[in-house]
């Protein structure tokens, strides 16, 4: 991934979590109602779907996955940070390169991917277009955590 993402993750305070969403979940005029799709654990080892009942008070950073990446002007970055209830560092990055078949295989082999119910729903999915947006974001966050933070092995040696 990018050095900007590595820098963002390195600045997340201990026991703070990463949140993730997609650019299509936001509009520039409605950033204050940003829809968080996924959230990490405090050790940055696994991702899960974000529940509306959760109060995301312990967020350390926000990742916005977007397939069309353009540098965010400083004024929009400032607007995004001030629009959130608690301003947190934010980055816009492309989704990790991962096929649906690779994600299903990883979910079968990796205990950190247990939150993905590919066994029941995965049988009807043939491509990423069949997968709900929140599930896609959670898979992308999990892949990002695996790639950037080392997953379980990094957390627990």
Contact 137, 20 (CB under 8 A): yes
Up-side HSE of residue 79: CA atoms within 13 Å toward CB? Answer: 14
**pLDDT single digits (tens) 69-101:** 555 555 555 555 555 556 788 888 889 999 888
Residue 53 resides in a domain: yes
DSSP letter assigned to residue 95: P
Residue 109 lies in a domain: yes
Is 154 domain-assigned? Answer: no
Q: Which of 149, 150, 156, 154 is nearest to 18 (CA)?
A: 149
Q: In Å, what is the CA distance from 80 to each residue of 56, 83, 122?
A: 16, 5, 34
Has residue 25 been placed in a domain?
Answer: yes
pTM assigned to the model = 0.78
- Higher pLDDT pick, 121 / 14: 14
Whether residue 61 lies inside any domain: the answer is: yes
pLDDT of 143 higher than 90: yes
Range of the domain at 81: 1-146
Averaged over 124-150, what is the pLDDT? 86
Which CA distances in Å does 122 have to 5, 18, 55, 99? 29, 25, 29, 13
Tell me if 107 is assigned to some domain. Answer: yes
Domains in the chain: how many in total? Answer: 1
The C-alpha torsion from 107 through 110 and 115 to 118, rounded to 10°, is 10
Rg of the chain on CA atoms, in Å = 15
């Amino acid at each position: 991934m990018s050095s900007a993402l590595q820098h963002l993750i390195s600045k997340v305070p201990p026991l703070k979590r990463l949140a993730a969403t997609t650019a299509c979940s936001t509009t520039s005029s409605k950033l204050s109602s940003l829809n968080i799709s996924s959230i990490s654990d405090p050790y940055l080892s696994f991702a899960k779907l974000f529940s509306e009942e959760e109060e995301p008070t312990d967020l350390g950073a926000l990742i916005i996955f977007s397939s069309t990446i353009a540098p965010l002007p400083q004024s929009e970055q400032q607007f995004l940070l001030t629009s959130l209830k608690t301003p947190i560092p934010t980055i816009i990055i492309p989704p990790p390169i991962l096929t649906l078949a690779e994600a299903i295989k990883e979910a079968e082999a990796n205990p950190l991917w247990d939150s993905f119910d590919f066994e029941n729903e995965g049988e009807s999915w043939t491509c990423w277009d069949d997968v709900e947006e929140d599930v896609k974001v959670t898979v992308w966050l999990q892949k990002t955590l695996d790639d950037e933070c080392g997953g379980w092995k990094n957390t627990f040696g």
